[in-house]
């Protein structure tokens, strides 16, 4: 009864750390491995995760008893290094069996029985690994990760200890899923912001970004009485071009114009945008009128160099 109470308090302490510490998926795995190993006197603890295609398991994080020592035994170090560079897809490995069954698996003495094919056999035998415990982290019938723990001696694991690790794994599964959802939401918001800030056709900044950046730089440079130059560009007779060649060719024309205009953005503070339709704009902070005129001429020459045919133009064949 005392041991069960002790294990429950340990479980709660781990869950509190996972809940209230600002952790990502990797640090949550590290924290869990360290706490479980140190509490239950495991020699090694590792976390493995399925690859995006769910075809194999890859090493993610590990905790080793030598972490707390000044030195590391050569064999122990080799064991760690080997695990960090290999993947598993063998149907006979403990990791794969736990992955497939989605059940906890405990090996009291992994040599020389069926567990001998598990992992880095010769190195594991050399450093004296005897016992192994594999625990899946599952959410909605999907394995998010597998925790595996090793002992350097044969051990009989009581049911309370297994329940403790399973309970922690269950909570960890929920945390991992929440973190994945947060990452997905953040990425979606970034994509939305990107769509809202840039023109899809030309990949230039759009009018909204142009207006925001212009007002920002206007206020900033006005305070210090610095130059702020604008270049506004318009493609002549673009409506006739679309009527003559069709909208797909019109899109290609705009892409080439955008490419030409982008070449005048020499500094990170310069901003090139598609202002709307066939209109483009360039914001040039800390640029005087002479330099702005020079760059405008560079734009004109660069576009002329493309020699984009325009049979319907009233001023030029290009």
How far, in Å, CA of 164 to CA of 160, rounded? 6
> Can you give the residue range of the structural domain that contains 133?
2-181
Q: Are residues 41 and 174 in the same domain?
A: yes
Q: Are residues 171 and 233 in the same domain?
A: no
The answer to whether residues 136 and 169 touch, using CB atoms and an 8 Å cutoff, is yes
Q: Are residues 116 and 249 in the same domain?
A: no
CATH number, position 40: 3.30.450.40
pLDDT of residue 36: 82
Q: Are residues 15 and 162 in the same domain?
A: yes
Q: Are residues 222 and 177 in the same domain?
A: no
Span 153-168, pLDDT tens digits: 776 767 777 777 777 7
Position 81 confidence tier, pLDDT thresholds 50, 70, 90:
low
Position 256 confidence tier, pLDDT thresholds 50, 70, 90:
very high
Q: Are residues 211 and 171 in the same domain?
A: no
Orientation of helix 2-20 relative to helix 159-197, angle to 10°: 10
The answer as to whether 195 is a domain residue is no
Q: Are residues 25 and 128 in the same domain?
A: yes
Reply yes or no on whether the pLDDT at 11 is more than 70. no
How many folded domains does the chain comprise? 2
The answer as to whether 313 is a domain residue is no
223 vs 312 pLDDT, higher one: 223
Q: Are residues 222 and 176 in the same domain?
A: no
Q: Are residues 138 and 270 in the same domain?
A: no
Q: Are residues 146 and 216 in the same domain?
A: no
The answer as to whether 299 is a domain residue is yes
How far, in Å, CA of 212 to CA of 134, rounded? 54
The answer to whether residues 50 and 143 touch, using CB atoms and an 8 Å cutoff, is yes
The answer to whether residues 90 and 96 touch, using CB atoms and an 8 Å cutoff, is yes
Q: Are residues 221 and 165 in the same domain?
A: no
How far, in Å, CA of 158 to CA of 1, rounded? 13
Reply yes or no on whether the pLDDT at 20 is more than 50. yes
Span 265-279, pLDDT tens digits: 889 999 999 999 999
Tokens encoding 198: 């840039």
Q: Are residues 11 and 148 in the same domain?
A: yes
Span 175-200, pLDDT tens digits: 888 888 888 888 888 888 888 899 99
pLDDT of residue 69: 46
pLDDT of residue 124: 62
Q: Which pTM was predicted?
A: 0.56
């Amino acid at each position: 009864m005392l041991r069960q109470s002790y294990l429950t308090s340990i479980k709660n302490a781990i869950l509190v750390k996972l809940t209230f510490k600002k952790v990502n998926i990797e640090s949550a795995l590290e924290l869990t491995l360290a706490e479980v190993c140190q509490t239950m006197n495991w020699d090694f603890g590792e976390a493995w995760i399925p690859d995006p295609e769910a075809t194999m398991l890859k090493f993610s994080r590990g905790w080793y008893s030598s972490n707390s020592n000044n030195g590391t035994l050569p064999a122990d170090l080799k064991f760690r290094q080997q695990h960090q560079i290999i993947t598993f897809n063998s149907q006979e490995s403990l990791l794969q069996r736990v992955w497939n069954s989605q059940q906890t698996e405990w090996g009291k003495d992994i040599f020389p029985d069926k567990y001998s094919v598990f992992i880095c056999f010769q190195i594991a035998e050399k450093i004296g690994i005897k016992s192994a415990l594999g625990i899946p982290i599952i959410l909605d019938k999907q394995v998010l990760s597998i925790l595996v723990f090793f002992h350097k001696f044969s051990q009989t694991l009581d049911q309370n200890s297994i329940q403790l690790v399973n309970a922690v794994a269950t909570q960890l599964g929920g945390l991992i899923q929440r973190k994945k959802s947060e990452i997905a939401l953040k990425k979606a918001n970034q994509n939305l912001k990107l769509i809202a800030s840039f023109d899809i056709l030309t990949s230039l900044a759009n009018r909204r970004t142009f207006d925001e950046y212009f007002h920002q730089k206007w206020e900033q440079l006005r305070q210090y009485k610095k130059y702020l130059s604008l270049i506004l560009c318009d493609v002549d007779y673009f409506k006739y071009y679309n009527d003559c060649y069709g909208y797909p060719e019109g899109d290609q024309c705009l892409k080439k114009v955008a490419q030409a205009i982008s070449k005048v953005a020499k500094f990170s503070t310069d901003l090139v945008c598609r202002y709307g339709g066939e209109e483009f704009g360039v914001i040039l902070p800390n640029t005087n009128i002479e330099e702005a005129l020079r760059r405008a001429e560079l734009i004109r020459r660069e576009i002329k160099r493309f020699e984009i045919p325009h049979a319907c133009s009233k001023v030029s064949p290009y």
